[in-house]
Amino acid sequence: MTVKSVPLPDIGNFKDLPVIEVLVAVGDRVEAEQSLITLESDKATMEIPAPFAGIVRKVLVKTDDKVNIGDAIVELEADTAATPEAPAVTTAAPAKSEPPAAPTPPVAVAVPVATANPSPTAPASATYPINAPTTGAAFHASPSVRALARELGVDLSKVSGSGVKSRIQKSDVTAFVKTTLSQPPASASTATGGSTIPPLPHIDFTQFGDIETVPLSRIQKRSGKHLSTCWLNIPHVTQFDETDITDLEDFRQSLKARAEKAEVKLTPLVFILKAVARVLADQPKFNASLDASGENLILKKYIHIGVAIDTPNGLVVPVIRHVDQKGLFELATELAAVSARARAGKLSPDDLSGGCFSISSLGGIGGTQFTPIVNGPEVAILGVSRAKMSPVWNGEAFIPRLMLPLALSYDHRVIDGAQGARFISALSGVLSDLRELIL
Protein backbone atom coordinates (compact mmCIF):
# COMPACT_ATOMS: atom_id res chain seq x y z
CA MET A 1 0.00 0.00 0.00
CA THR A 2 1.21 3.52 -0.76
CA VAL A 3 0.77 6.38 1.64
CA LYS A 4 0.68 9.78 -0.02
CA SER A 5 0.55 13.19 1.46
CA VAL A 6 -2.34 15.24 0.03
CA PRO A 7 -1.44 18.92 -0.42
CA LEU A 8 -3.90 21.80 -0.62
CA PRO A 9 -4.45 22.32 -4.37
CA ASP A 10 -4.35 25.67 -6.13
CA ILE A 11 -7.57 27.34 -5.03
CA GLY A 12 -6.83 30.81 -6.34
CA ASN A 13 -5.27 33.85 -4.88
CA PHE A 14 -5.81 33.12 -1.18
CA LYS A 15 -3.58 33.14 1.86
CA ASP A 16 -4.06 31.67 5.31
CA LEU A 17 -7.52 30.28 4.72
CA PRO A 18 -9.13 28.98 7.92
CA VAL A 19 -10.09 25.34 8.16
CA ILE A 20 -13.68 25.42 9.37
CA GLU A 21 -14.28 21.71 9.41
CA VAL A 22 -12.29 18.51 9.23
CA LEU A 23 -14.54 15.95 7.60
CA VAL A 24 -12.41 12.84 8.03
CA ALA A 25 -10.64 11.01 10.85
CA VAL A 26 -7.74 8.56 10.97
CA GLY A 27 -8.91 5.17 9.75
CA ASP A 28 -11.75 6.54 7.59
CA ARG A 29 -12.07 5.12 4.11
CA VAL A 30 -12.66 7.87 1.56
CA GLU A 31 -13.69 7.76 -2.08
CA ALA A 32 -11.96 9.83 -4.76
CA GLU A 33 -13.50 13.33 -4.75
CA GLN A 34 -14.90 12.85 -1.23
CA SER A 35 -14.46 16.04 0.79
CA LEU A 36 -11.62 16.01 3.30
CA ILE A 37 -11.80 19.46 4.86
CA THR A 38 -13.80 22.64 4.45
CA LEU A 39 -12.16 26.04 4.05
CA GLU A 40 -13.88 29.35 4.12
CA SER A 41 -12.95 32.61 2.45
CA ASP A 42 -14.93 35.82 2.53
CA LYS A 43 -16.73 34.76 -0.59
CA ALA A 44 -17.06 31.01 -0.59
CA THR A 45 -16.94 27.80 1.32
CA MET A 46 -14.66 25.29 -0.35
CA GLU A 47 -14.57 21.59 0.25
CA ILE A 48 -11.23 20.08 -0.61
CA PRO A 49 -11.70 16.67 -2.20
CA ALA A 50 -9.56 13.55 -1.92
CA PRO A 51 -7.52 13.12 -5.13
CA PHE A 52 -7.96 9.34 -4.94
CA ALA A 53 -9.73 6.70 -2.86
CA GLY A 54 -8.03 5.29 0.19
CA ILE A 55 -7.71 5.09 3.96
CA VAL A 56 -6.89 8.20 5.99
CA ARG A 57 -3.64 7.45 7.82
CA LYS A 58 -2.94 10.89 9.26
CA VAL A 59 -4.95 14.09 9.59
CA LEU A 60 -2.49 16.96 9.47
CA VAL A 61 -4.81 19.91 10.09
CA LYS A 62 -7.46 20.80 12.65
CA THR A 63 -10.33 23.25 12.83
CA ASP A 64 -9.21 26.90 12.89
CA ASP A 65 -5.77 26.09 11.43
CA LYS A 66 -4.80 28.43 8.60
CA VAL A 67 -3.66 26.74 5.41
CA ASN A 68 -2.01 27.74 2.17
CA ILE A 69 -1.57 26.15 -1.24
CA GLY A 70 0.75 23.16 -1.01
CA ASP A 71 0.27 22.55 2.73
CA ALA A 72 -0.24 18.87 3.48
CA ILE A 73 -3.77 18.20 4.69
CA VAL A 74 -3.89 14.44 5.24
CA GLU A 75 -1.95 11.33 4.47
CA LEU A 76 -3.90 8.81 2.44
CA GLU A 77 -3.09 5.18 1.88
CA ALA A 78 -4.07 4.62 -1.72
CA ASP A 79 -6.77 2.11 -2.37
CA THR A 80 -5.17 0.05 -5.13
CA ALA A 81 -8.50 -1.40 -6.23
CA ALA A 82 -9.82 2.08 -6.92
CA THR A 83 -6.58 3.60 -8.21
CA PRO A 84 -5.01 1.08 -10.55
CA GLU A 85 -2.28 3.57 -11.45
CA ALA A 86 -1.03 3.50 -7.83
CA PRO A 87 2.09 1.39 -7.43
CA ALA A 88 1.40 -2.02 -5.90
CA VAL A 89 3.61 -1.60 -2.86
CA THR A 90 2.45 -3.61 0.09
CA THR A 91 4.22 -1.85 2.92
CA ALA A 92 3.33 1.70 3.84
CA ALA A 93 6.17 3.99 2.90
CA PRO A 94 6.95 7.00 5.08
CA ALA A 95 4.89 9.87 3.75
CA LYS A 96 7.82 12.22 3.29
CA SER A 97 9.59 9.88 0.88
CA GLU A 98 6.57 9.85 -1.44
CA PRO A 99 5.95 12.49 -4.06
CA PRO A 100 2.89 14.53 -3.18
CA ALA A 101 -0.38 13.36 -4.66
CA ALA A 102 -1.59 15.23 -7.72
CA PRO A 103 -3.80 18.03 -6.49
CA THR A 104 -7.45 17.81 -7.42
CA PRO A 105 -9.27 21.07 -8.04
CA PRO A 106 -11.32 22.11 -5.03
CA VAL A 107 -15.07 22.03 -5.10
CA ALA A 108 -15.78 25.72 -4.79
CA VAL A 109 -19.28 26.42 -3.66
CA ALA A 110 -19.86 28.97 -6.36
CA VAL A 111 -20.98 32.31 -5.10
CA PRO A 112 -22.65 33.91 -8.04
CA VAL A 113 -21.80 37.43 -7.11
CA ALA A 114 -19.79 39.55 -4.74
CA THR A 115 -20.69 39.35 -1.07
CA ALA A 116 -24.01 40.93 -0.35
CA ASN A 117 -23.75 44.44 1.00
CA PRO A 118 -25.75 44.94 4.15
CA SER A 119 -28.40 47.47 3.39
CA PRO A 120 -27.55 50.86 4.75
CA THR A 121 -31.25 51.56 4.82
CA ALA A 122 -32.23 48.35 6.61
CA PRO A 123 -33.80 48.94 10.00
CA ALA A 124 -31.58 48.34 13.02
CA SER A 125 -33.94 45.78 14.46
CA ALA A 126 -33.96 42.55 12.52
CA THR A 127 -37.62 42.75 11.69
CA TYR A 128 -36.94 42.29 7.96
CA PRO A 129 -35.37 38.87 8.07
CA ILE A 130 -34.16 38.96 4.47
CA ASN A 131 -32.42 42.28 5.04
CA ALA A 132 -30.49 41.16 8.10
CA PRO A 133 -26.73 41.63 7.75
CA THR A 134 -26.03 37.91 7.84
CA THR A 135 -27.97 37.27 4.64
CA GLY A 136 -27.00 36.63 1.06
CA ALA A 137 -23.77 34.95 0.21
CA ALA A 138 -22.24 36.37 3.37
CA PHE A 139 -23.26 34.08 6.21
CA HIS A 140 -20.68 31.62 7.44
CA ALA A 141 -21.65 28.12 8.51
CA SER A 142 -19.96 24.78 8.19
CA PRO A 143 -21.55 21.98 6.16
CA SER A 144 -22.62 20.16 9.35
CA VAL A 145 -24.38 23.28 10.62
CA ARG A 146 -26.01 23.70 7.21
CA ALA A 147 -27.10 20.04 7.35
CA LEU A 148 -28.62 20.56 10.80
CA ALA A 149 -30.41 23.67 9.56
CA ARG A 150 -31.79 21.76 6.59
CA GLU A 151 -32.97 18.98 8.88
CA LEU A 152 -34.75 21.43 11.16
CA GLY A 153 -36.06 23.57 8.31
CA VAL A 154 -34.15 26.63 9.54
CA ASP A 155 -33.32 29.41 7.09
CA LEU A 156 -29.72 30.23 8.06
CA SER A 157 -30.04 33.76 6.69
CA LYS A 158 -32.25 34.47 9.72
CA VAL A 159 -29.78 33.13 12.30
CA SER A 160 -27.18 35.32 14.00
CA GLY A 161 -23.80 33.61 14.33
CA SER A 162 -22.00 33.70 17.67
CA GLY A 163 -18.72 32.22 16.39
CA VAL A 164 -15.60 33.89 15.06
CA LYS A 165 -16.49 36.37 12.26
CA SER A 166 -20.19 35.76 13.08
CA ARG A 167 -19.89 32.12 12.00
CA ILE A 168 -23.12 30.27 12.76
CA GLN A 169 -22.70 27.44 15.27
CA LYS A 170 -24.97 24.47 15.95
CA SER A 171 -25.98 26.12 19.23
CA ASP A 172 -27.12 29.22 17.29
CA VAL A 173 -29.39 27.06 15.16
CA THR A 174 -30.95 25.30 18.15
CA ALA A 175 -31.33 28.60 20.02
CA PHE A 176 -33.05 30.05 16.95
CA VAL A 177 -35.48 27.13 16.87
CA LYS A 178 -36.26 27.55 20.59
CA THR A 179 -36.85 31.29 20.23
CA THR A 180 -39.01 30.83 17.15
CA LEU A 181 -41.13 28.19 18.85
CA SER A 182 -41.65 30.41 21.90
CA GLN A 183 -42.89 33.35 19.78
CA PRO A 184 -46.48 34.05 18.79
CA PRO A 185 -47.45 32.89 15.28
CA ALA A 186 -46.23 35.05 12.35
CA SER A 187 -49.77 36.12 11.52
CA ALA A 188 -49.95 37.91 14.89
CA SER A 189 -46.79 39.95 14.26
CA THR A 190 -47.80 40.91 10.72
CA ALA A 191 -51.19 41.95 12.00
CA THR A 192 -49.68 44.23 14.64
CA GLY A 193 -46.35 45.48 13.29
CA GLY A 194 -46.85 45.22 9.57
CA SER A 195 -43.08 45.40 9.12
CA THR A 196 -42.35 41.73 8.44
CA ILE A 197 -42.43 40.70 4.80
CA PRO A 198 -45.49 38.47 4.64
CA PRO A 199 -44.55 34.93 3.67
CA LEU A 200 -46.11 33.25 0.67
CA PRO A 201 -48.85 30.82 1.67
CA HIS A 202 -47.97 27.15 2.13
CA ILE A 203 -50.14 25.15 -0.19
CA ASP A 204 -50.47 21.40 -0.40
CA PHE A 205 -50.36 21.05 -4.19
CA THR A 206 -51.16 17.33 -4.04
CA GLN A 207 -54.77 18.33 -3.57
CA PHE A 208 -54.77 19.45 -7.22
CA GLY A 209 -52.90 16.53 -8.80
CA ASP A 210 -49.60 14.64 -8.88
CA ILE A 211 -46.46 16.57 -8.01
CA GLU A 212 -42.70 15.98 -7.84
CA THR A 213 -40.44 17.80 -5.39
CA VAL A 214 -37.01 18.65 -6.81
CA PRO A 215 -34.44 20.26 -4.50
CA LEU A 216 -32.84 23.47 -5.73
CA SER A 217 -29.15 23.24 -6.53
CA ARG A 218 -26.61 24.79 -4.19
CA ILE A 219 -25.98 27.56 -6.69
CA GLN A 220 -29.68 28.25 -7.06
CA LYS A 221 -30.10 28.53 -3.30
CA ARG A 222 -27.16 30.91 -2.98
CA SER A 223 -28.01 33.04 -5.97
CA GLY A 224 -31.69 33.06 -4.97
CA LYS A 225 -30.81 34.49 -1.59
CA HIS A 226 -28.50 37.06 -3.12
CA LEU A 227 -31.07 38.08 -5.73
CA SER A 228 -33.74 38.51 -3.01
CA THR A 229 -31.32 40.64 -1.01
CA CYS A 230 -30.57 42.85 -4.01
CA TRP A 231 -34.21 43.06 -5.03
CA LEU A 232 -35.30 44.11 -1.54
CA ASN A 233 -32.45 46.51 -0.80
CA ILE A 234 -31.94 48.31 -4.08
CA PRO A 235 -34.55 50.71 -5.46
CA HIS A 236 -34.45 49.62 -9.10
CA VAL A 237 -35.23 51.61 -12.21
CA THR A 238 -34.89 50.02 -15.64
CA GLN A 239 -34.17 52.18 -18.68
CA PHE A 240 -34.76 50.64 -22.11
CA ASP A 241 -33.27 51.46 -25.48
CA GLU A 242 -32.79 49.97 -28.92
CA THR A 243 -29.53 50.47 -30.73
CA ASP A 244 -28.74 50.10 -34.39
CA ILE A 245 -26.02 47.42 -34.70
CA THR A 246 -26.25 46.95 -38.48
CA ASP A 247 -22.71 48.26 -39.01
CA LEU A 248 -21.39 46.36 -35.98
CA GLU A 249 -22.89 43.18 -37.43
CA ASP A 250 -21.26 43.84 -40.83
CA PHE A 251 -17.94 44.35 -39.08
CA ARG A 252 -18.46 41.19 -37.01
CA GLN A 253 -19.23 39.16 -40.15
CA SER A 254 -16.14 40.62 -41.84
CA LEU A 255 -14.04 39.33 -38.94
CA LYS A 256 -15.52 35.83 -39.06
CA ALA A 257 -12.73 34.23 -41.08
CA ARG A 258 -10.07 35.76 -38.82
CA ALA A 259 -12.01 34.70 -35.75
CA GLU A 260 -12.30 31.15 -37.02
CA LYS A 261 -8.59 31.07 -37.73
CA ALA A 262 -7.92 32.29 -34.21
CA GLU A 263 -10.43 29.69 -32.95
CA VAL A 264 -12.59 32.24 -31.17
CA LYS A 265 -16.32 32.92 -31.35
CA LEU A 266 -16.93 36.60 -31.87
CA THR A 267 -20.52 37.05 -30.67
CA PRO A 268 -22.20 40.47 -30.26
CA LEU A 269 -21.58 40.15 -26.51
CA VAL A 270 -17.84 40.62 -27.01
CA PHE A 271 -18.44 43.99 -28.72
CA ILE A 272 -20.94 44.91 -25.99
CA LEU A 273 -18.35 44.17 -23.29
CA LYS A 274 -15.88 46.48 -25.01
CA ALA A 275 -18.46 49.23 -25.51
CA VAL A 276 -19.66 49.01 -21.89
CA ALA A 277 -16.07 49.30 -20.67
CA ARG A 278 -15.69 52.45 -22.73
CA VAL A 279 -18.85 54.05 -21.31
CA LEU A 280 -17.93 52.99 -17.75
CA ALA A 281 -14.61 54.80 -18.16
CA ASP A 282 -16.49 57.93 -19.22
CA GLN A 283 -19.21 57.64 -16.55
CA PRO A 284 -17.44 56.36 -13.41
CA LYS A 285 -20.53 56.55 -11.21
CA PHE A 286 -21.65 53.33 -12.89
CA ASN A 287 -18.33 51.67 -12.03
CA ALA A 288 -18.89 52.05 -8.32
CA SER A 289 -20.45 50.69 -5.12
CA LEU A 290 -22.04 52.31 -2.11
CA ASP A 291 -20.01 51.75 1.03
CA ALA A 292 -21.53 49.96 4.03
CA SER A 293 -22.73 53.23 5.58
CA GLY A 294 -24.61 54.08 2.41
CA GLU A 295 -23.18 57.59 2.60
CA ASN A 296 -20.17 57.28 0.29
CA LEU A 297 -19.71 56.07 -3.23
CA ILE A 298 -16.60 53.99 -3.88
CA LEU A 299 -15.39 54.69 -7.42
CA LYS A 300 -13.31 51.85 -8.80
CA LYS A 301 -10.29 52.62 -10.91
CA TYR A 302 -10.41 49.27 -12.66
CA ILE A 303 -13.04 47.93 -15.03
CA HIS A 304 -13.97 44.35 -14.21
CA ILE A 305 -17.26 43.22 -15.73
CA GLY A 306 -19.35 40.25 -14.59
CA VAL A 307 -21.14 38.20 -17.23
CA ALA A 308 -24.21 36.18 -16.25
CA ILE A 309 -23.84 32.60 -17.43
CA ASP A 310 -26.57 30.04 -17.55
CA THR A 311 -25.27 26.66 -16.30
CA PRO A 312 -27.01 23.34 -15.66
CA ASN A 313 -26.78 24.10 -11.92
CA GLY A 314 -28.01 27.66 -12.10
CA LEU A 315 -26.93 31.19 -12.76
CA VAL A 316 -23.35 32.32 -12.05
CA VAL A 317 -21.67 35.65 -12.72
CA PRO A 318 -17.92 35.23 -13.27
CA VAL A 319 -15.89 38.36 -13.76
CA ILE A 320 -13.73 39.36 -16.72
CA ARG A 321 -10.99 41.68 -15.53
CA HIS A 322 -9.62 44.84 -17.13
CA VAL A 323 -12.04 44.67 -20.04
CA ASP A 324 -10.97 48.15 -21.15
CA GLN A 325 -7.41 46.91 -21.70
CA LYS A 326 -8.25 43.86 -23.82
CA GLY A 327 -8.94 43.41 -27.51
CA LEU A 328 -11.99 41.72 -29.03
CA PHE A 329 -10.24 38.40 -29.70
CA GLU A 330 -8.76 38.29 -26.20
CA LEU A 331 -12.16 39.00 -24.66
CA ALA A 332 -13.79 36.35 -26.84
CA THR A 333 -11.20 33.81 -25.74
CA GLU A 334 -11.68 34.70 -22.10
CA LEU A 335 -15.48 34.64 -22.35
CA ALA A 336 -15.38 31.17 -23.93
CA ALA A 337 -12.96 29.88 -21.28
CA VAL A 338 -14.90 31.26 -18.34
CA SER A 339 -18.22 29.98 -19.77
CA ALA A 340 -16.71 26.52 -20.15
CA ARG A 341 -15.40 26.59 -16.56
CA ALA A 342 -18.79 27.83 -15.33
CA ARG A 343 -20.69 25.08 -17.11
CA ALA A 344 -18.26 22.45 -15.81
CA GLY A 345 -18.73 23.77 -12.26
CA LYS A 346 -15.04 24.68 -12.11
CA LEU A 347 -15.12 28.38 -11.29
CA SER A 348 -12.75 29.48 -8.56
CA PRO A 349 -13.66 32.06 -5.90
CA ASP A 350 -11.36 34.46 -7.79
CA ASP A 351 -13.49 34.06 -10.93
CA LEU A 352 -16.53 35.13 -8.96
CA SER A 353 -15.29 38.22 -7.20
CA GLY A 354 -14.25 41.77 -7.96
CA GLY A 355 -16.94 42.76 -10.48
CA CYS A 356 -17.84 46.43 -10.97
CA PHE A 357 -20.80 46.10 -13.36
CA SER A 358 -22.65 43.11 -14.83
CA ILE A 359 -24.05 42.14 -18.19
CA SER A 360 -26.80 39.61 -18.62
CA SER A 361 -27.22 38.60 -22.25
CA LEU A 362 -30.19 36.54 -23.36
CA GLY A 363 -29.58 37.52 -26.98
CA GLY A 364 -28.54 34.01 -27.95
CA ILE A 365 -31.86 32.67 -26.69
CA GLY A 366 -34.59 35.18 -27.57
CA GLY A 367 -37.07 37.61 -26.09
CA THR A 368 -37.61 41.27 -26.75
CA GLN A 369 -36.74 42.82 -23.35
CA PHE A 370 -36.33 41.91 -19.69
CA THR A 371 -35.52 43.75 -16.47
CA PRO A 372 -32.28 42.45 -14.91
CA ILE A 373 -31.73 42.67 -11.15
CA VAL A 374 -28.76 44.82 -10.10
CA ASN A 375 -25.97 42.59 -8.82
CA GLY A 376 -25.35 44.49 -5.56
CA PRO A 377 -23.19 46.01 -4.28
CA GLU A 378 -22.70 47.01 -7.90
CA VAL A 379 -25.00 49.84 -8.94
CA ALA A 380 -26.04 48.87 -12.46
CA ILE A 381 -26.51 45.95 -14.80
CA LEU A 382 -27.11 45.76 -18.54
CA GLY A 383 -29.64 43.33 -19.98
CA VAL A 384 -29.23 42.42 -23.65
CA SER A 385 -31.98 40.80 -25.73
CA ARG A 386 -32.07 39.40 -29.23
CA ALA A 387 -31.28 41.75 -32.11
CA LYS A 388 -33.92 41.87 -34.81
CA MET A 389 -34.18 43.41 -38.26
CA SER A 390 -36.69 46.28 -38.00
CA PRO A 391 -38.00 49.07 -40.22
CA VAL A 392 -36.38 52.35 -39.14
CA TRP A 393 -37.50 55.76 -40.43
CA ASN A 394 -34.54 57.69 -41.85
CA GLY A 395 -36.51 60.88 -42.52
CA GLU A 396 -37.61 59.80 -45.98
CA ALA A 397 -38.30 56.10 -45.87
CA PHE A 398 -38.30 53.04 -43.69
CA ILE A 399 -35.06 51.16 -44.05
CA PRO A 400 -34.19 47.72 -42.62
CA ARG A 401 -31.76 48.01 -39.70
CA LEU A 402 -30.60 45.43 -37.16
CA MET A 403 -31.83 46.72 -33.80
CA LEU A 404 -30.50 45.46 -30.47
CA PRO A 405 -32.75 45.84 -27.39
CA LEU A 406 -30.93 47.00 -24.25
CA ALA A 407 -32.19 47.35 -20.67
CA LEU A 408 -30.16 49.14 -18.02
CA SER A 409 -31.28 48.53 -14.42
CA TYR A 410 -29.68 50.81 -11.87
CA ASP A 411 -29.69 51.65 -8.18
CA HIS A 412 -31.73 54.83 -7.95
CA ARG A 413 -30.01 55.80 -4.68
CA VAL A 414 -26.83 56.32 -6.69
CA ILE A 415 -27.96 57.05 -10.23
CA ASP A 416 -30.55 59.57 -11.31
CA GLY A 417 -32.90 58.93 -14.20
CA ALA A 418 -31.08 61.46 -16.40
CA GLN A 419 -27.74 59.73 -15.76
CA GLY A 420 -29.31 56.37 -16.57
CA ALA A 421 -30.62 57.73 -19.87
CA ARG A 422 -27.23 59.30 -20.63
CA PHE A 423 -25.42 56.02 -19.99
CA ILE A 424 -27.66 53.97 -22.25
CA SER A 425 -27.59 56.64 -24.98
CA ALA A 426 -23.80 56.74 -24.85
CA LEU A 427 -23.66 52.96 -25.02
CA SER A 428 -26.08 52.98 -27.90
CA GLY A 429 -23.87 55.54 -29.64
CA VAL A 430 -20.75 53.37 -29.31
CA LEU A 431 -22.50 50.21 -30.47
CA SER A 432 -24.04 51.90 -33.49
CA ASP A 433 -20.72 53.48 -34.48
CA LEU A 434 -17.74 51.53 -33.22
CA ARG A 435 -15.41 54.34 -34.33
CA GLU A 436 -16.41 55.91 -30.98
CA LEU A 437 -14.21 53.31 -29.33
CA ILE A 438 -11.06 54.90 -30.67
CA LEU A 439 -11.96 58.49 -29.84
Taking the complex as a whole, the smallest distance from the CB of residue 369 to ligand CAO amounts, in Å, to: 12
Residue 199, strand partner residues:
none
Taking the complex as a whole, the smallest distance from the CB of residue 109 to ligand CAO amounts, in Å, to: 19
Site for ligand CAO in 360-419 (CB under 6 A): 360-364, 372, 384, 386-387, 404
Burial of 273 (0-12, 13-18, 19+ CB in 10 A): buried
Total interface residues for ligand CAO by CB under 6 A: 19
Q: Is 140 assigned a catalytic role?
A: no
CB nearer ligand CAO, residue 281 or residue 389: 389
Distance (Å, rounded) from C-alpha 140 to C-alpha 133?
12
CB nearer ligand CAO, residue 73 or residue 272: 272
Stretch that binds ligand CAO, among 35-43, 88-96, 112-120, 303-311 (CB under 6 A): 303-311
* List of residues 6+ apart from 60 with CB closer than 8 A: 5, 71, 72, 73, 74, 75
- Among residues 140, 226, 322, 412, the one annotated as catalytic is 412
> 3-state class of 305 per DSSP?
strand
Site for ligand CAO (CB under 6 A): which residue of 49, 54, 268, 355?
Answer: 268
Burial of 387 (0-12, 13-18, 19+ CB in 10 A): buried
Q: Name the closest residue to ligand CAO (Cβ).
A: 363
Answer yes or no whether residue 333 interacts with ligand CAO by CB under 6 A: no
Distance (Å, rounded) from C-alpha 41 to C-alpha 17?
6
Site for ligand CAO (CB under 6 A): which residue of 122, 315, 352, 427?
Answer: 315
Answer yes or no whether residue 267 interacts with ligand CAO by CB under 6 A: yes
Site for ligand CAO in 344-363 (CB under 6 A): 360-363
Answer yes or no whether residue 219 interacts with ligand CAO by CB under 6 A: no
Q: CB of 431 within 8 A of CB of 243?
A: yes
CB nearer ligand CAO, residue 269 or residue 305: 269
- Work out the end-to-end distance of the chain between its first and last CA atoms, rounded to an integer number of angstroms: 67
Burial of 198 (0-12, 13-18, 19+ CB in 10 A): exposed
Distance (Å, rounded) from C-alpha 313 to C-alpha 345?
8
Taking the complex as a whole, the smallest distance from the CB of residue 117 to ligand CAO amounts, in Å, to: 18
Stretch that binds ligand CAO, among 14-22, 81-89, 96-104, 306-314 (CB under 6 A): 306-314
Taking the complex as a whole, the smallest distance from the CB of residue 275 to ligand CAO amounts, in Å, to: 13
Distance (Å, rounded) from C-alpha 294 to C-alpha 379?
12
Q: What are phi and psi of 378, to 5 degrees?
A: -65, 170
Q: Which residues bind ligand CAO (CB under 6 A)?
A: 267-269, 307-310, 315, 339, 360-364, 372, 384, 386-387, 404
Q: Which residues are catalytic?
A: 412
